[in-house]
Chains A and B, each alone.
Chain A
Amino acid sequence: MDPVTIMADIALAIKLGKMAYDLGKDVAPYMITAYQIMFKNKILTAEERQKMTDQELAWRSEIDAVIAADDEATD
């Protein structure tokens, strides 16, 4: 492999790693909580449920904004 190809592959690996890291940051807290509820008898408080609801609303709001932008785009 030539140096240019190697550097391109490394750049791609870093890009993928960053995406996986960002996604993992979002996913991990929910997985941990689900595990604790299932196997550690954790009971969510009203505040924790509200926090979850707020995060869901924030994500859905941003997704809807992207969909609205997609609908207006001509490309």
Chain B
Amino acid sequence: MKKLIAVLAVALALGGCATMDKIGTVISAAQNFTITQGQVDSARNSYDGFVLAPLYRYAKLPRCKTGQTITIENPCHDRKLLKQIRQVDIQVAKAFSDTQNSITSGDNKGAVAAYTTLKGLIDIAKALIAQTGMTALGA
């Protein structure tokens, strides 16, 4: 039974990785072109679904005690990892805001630059959220 759960978790994690890549695809497609409101909205929804929602759920897990490791039987959040991801999330939120402001003001060059920054930050957030194990639950 445990083996079955482990295999299922790995399969879901891989599925999660594949869908997570869509965030990057959406943003890559926008690079060097006009950044549209729809592209920002889509990327923001993807980010909220694949990073922010799992981060919220991760934070709600009990705190890992010193020396405790995360297991399927006893899921917990690592305080350092949580703080690290939140720091990146603050930068992502600012990059989304910068991109939105550039679009609103009609500054496409600024929007492309902000979007490029956003892509890099989302890649970092994706890598960190994968470490939480929340992707194993299907996110």
Contacts and interface: CB of A to CB of B under 8 A. Distances in A.
A, B assembled together: yes
Interface of A: 1, 6, 9-10, 12-13, 16, 19-20, 22-24, 26-31, 33-34, 37-38, 41-44, 49, 52, 55-56, 59-60, 62-64, 66-67, 69-71, 73, 75
Given A20-B138, A37-B42, 13 more contacts: A12-B2, A12-B5, A12-B73, A23-B54, A26-B57, A37-B38, A52-B48, A56-B48, A60-B86, A62-B60, A64-B86, A67-B83, A70-B63
Nearest to A55: B48
Interface of B: 1-2, 5, 9, 12, 19, 22, 26, 37-38, 41-46, 48-50, 52-57, 59-60, 63, 65-66, 72-73, 75, 77, 79, 82-83, 86, 89, 93, 134, 137-139
